[in-house]
Structure 1
Amino acid sequence: MLTLEQNEKLTQVGPGTPMGELMRRYWHPVAGSIQLNAENPTKEIRLLGEDLVIYRDAKGTLGCIEPSCAHRKASLAYGIPEENGIRCAYHGWVFNETGACVDQPSEPEGSKFKEKVRIKSYPIEELGGLIFIYMGPQPAPLLPRWDVLAWEGYKDAWSVLLPCNWLQCQENSLDPLHFQWLHRYWGGWSIARLKPPEERDAFFANVAARGADHKKIGFEITDYGVIKRRLVGNETEEDEHWRIGHPILFPNILRVGHGLEFRVPVDDTHTLHIVTNYRQYDTGETPMENVPFEERSLHDEHGRLVRDYVPAQDAVAWVIQGPIMDRTTERLGMTDVGIIMFRRMLQEQMDVVEAGGEPLNVHRNPDENEVIVLPCENYLYPGYEEVGGPFKNYKPGIPDVEAMLSGAGVEREEWAGVEAKTAIWGSQGGSGHWNNGTNYNYSSDENS
């Protein structure tokens, strides 16, 4: 468990907070490229506790600016995008993507007043059908060209706004054991009640392998974040789940198959969950012009939390922990070693930023940023015919943290003909260390 001060330090993301300053060192997606178009050229957003307006001007240039005109504070979300910026609806002042005032139509001819007027602006870029913003110090780092964003192929994306803090979303990624309980057991129970047999059977076919009983979990720190490893069912360390593993990109991204999940901190009590997916074009398939983007609802038509697919079930778990999870009363066990490790990583990187350094997973070398190919288990890569692609013969390093689990199974019940098995695990031991060779004594109630 954490103290109140420790929990606040990890969850408060506004300007001037330790976590807010760390988060400002990274690019964050805020919308789909297709959302800024001729009919809707402006969009109000909120990121890291700041209200902003993004727009696409008549030349196609993107801008990210503070929401109020410097003149009489009218909202620029209602402005008119023109050739050289966005024109305020109230008195016609124009601001470009750098925040400079470039036109004041009612001021005297030859006036230099506009040269003294600026509004706040932030760097903004597009990649893979998403719009990204950077809010940190200059010069801005490169927008990381993660493989599934940079590869040519079919893409789609969606988002949902969650009434909870970003950290409880991202900590879920460091918790492999949740899959067999939240998705296989509770998800199966929910699907059996809500869906017809064919949809129920498809769900169980999808989660069966990943939801098997966990025997061992491990986490290896890398240059870009963490590789999560696990042994489920009858797997050995030669299977892809352990040998190749599953990447978590510091600080707030999860790789899932050929897609990415971004847990974007809107403010202390809201998170924009953005999911993007990729597949290679089929032979003869016409390349897409625009990447589809959908804003999904957290609730169904009956006002209930949506729970009929895996990411929605994750969102339910995050939201029902409350707006900001109370970590002062939590009781952590052996299965939580990844979460404990991740919290320490966050603290270490906040310290790096406070000391004036550059945190983990910030990219500045263009040669290394053309396409950043990530290892991910059980998936095909462009140009490769076998699962694992360039990582097929990958040899993992020693996990920085790992835990042995009992994997003992227990029969539950049958849901309309679909048998569900889950695991009750114990604590047969666990160990952890960091890359520098020093021991990492994680704190859990199971270990105390």
Structure 2
Amino acid sequence: MSAAPLPPPGGDDTPLAYPAEWEADVILTDGGTAHIRPILPTDGPLLRGFWTRLSPQSIYFRFFTARRAVSDADIHQMTVVDQRTRGAIVAMIGDDLVAVAHWEGTVARPTEAEVAFLVEDAQQGRGLGSVLLEHLAAAAWDRGIRRFDADVLGENRQMIRVFLDAGYTVARAWDSGAVRLSFEITPTEQSVTVMRAREHRAEAASIGRLLHPRSIAVIGAARAAGSLGNSVLRHLLTGGFDGPVYPVNPAAAAAGTAVASIRAYGGIEEVPRPIDLAVVCVPPAGRVGCYSQSGPFGGAILQAAAARGVGLSVFVSAGDRADVSGNDLLQYWEEDPETDAVIMHLETFGNPRKFARLARRLGRRKPIVTVYSGRSALDDALLRQAGVIGVDRISQAFDVALLLTSQPLPAGSRVAVIGASRALVRLTARAADAAGLIAEEVLLPGGSG
């Protein structure tokens, strides 16, 4: 997949500050995921590896000529951009760079740009071209560009279809076996509809992987008959699931014993093949939904819930950029009658714009509490705008979620602080004052300093 060759660099290549807001986790048409980010000057080795996985046809479609190797000059042209007149984004799957998209403008015509796309052969047909076009258009719009032009070979029907199906009004002109496509990138009702429809189909495919797994691990599969973990494991073995099931039980694995006559593993990382679904045996069901981007952090959430006797309606520990994202769960919880509050641990927002949109919508009905690792001022601003309560510790997250789900919303800003210790009451009242509340101190009879 591609468009016409990029012209030589021109203008000021002095880069702006790294546009971190362009980073996003995206779901592809088959339910898999990729990470979109701005290109970096250090991406040369990744681009060389990417080049070795391209077919001669993909290279020909991109450069309009046969090429055997990528030169140092090519690498420099693609990676050293100012993200202003010339910009580029890449798609990452795991540690591999699998696609790149560029725009090339000129100082003389600052609102117009030539665009070019190149997607690894093994990843074609998964919707990467459409995703890259959406994100390249959004990034270029941020830099004042309002129109894209692309020259595409006539036989490159797949790339032509990406442009035509994007929801923009596309003008076409044929010349010498290539078609020049020109269109305004101002978001239109049709382009937004196309984007939302693509997201919906991709997210449905992603959830399909969860509901129709090829392999399952049962974390906390106990040996004791009748226990939750043991029952889940035995039901999977006798219920008709025809894929492999792996019990994860560190104690049983250390002792060299089996669970339900199946070898036990000490951790998910010891399982010999990829796992589509991990079933975590959690405390009794409740009204709090939890999501974690970290396995160890997810374990800490379960321990905190068990220690407090809090039941969970849903618990998902998806890992960083897994097939099921936090945004997927926000959409699920919006319609889930069993969930009254949401606790999320995030290491990255994935797609910040989408997160803000979904969180704002869900937060009108159900409180969202986020434990966000290493929050910046920009992160705090995003959480505030989305109506999300950001905290620093798991204990704070449960305190807030339980308070909001067990108590009615206060009518005003006045609170009473009641206790038997004058020092603790005063300390709590001062904290309330600092938060903008009007606190009245009430010391119980017989209370002390």
Question: Shared fold by TM > 0.5?
Answer: no
| TM-score between both structures, scaled by the size of structure 1 | 0.23
Higher-helix-fraction structure: 2
In our comparison, the structure showing a higher alpha carbon Rg is 2
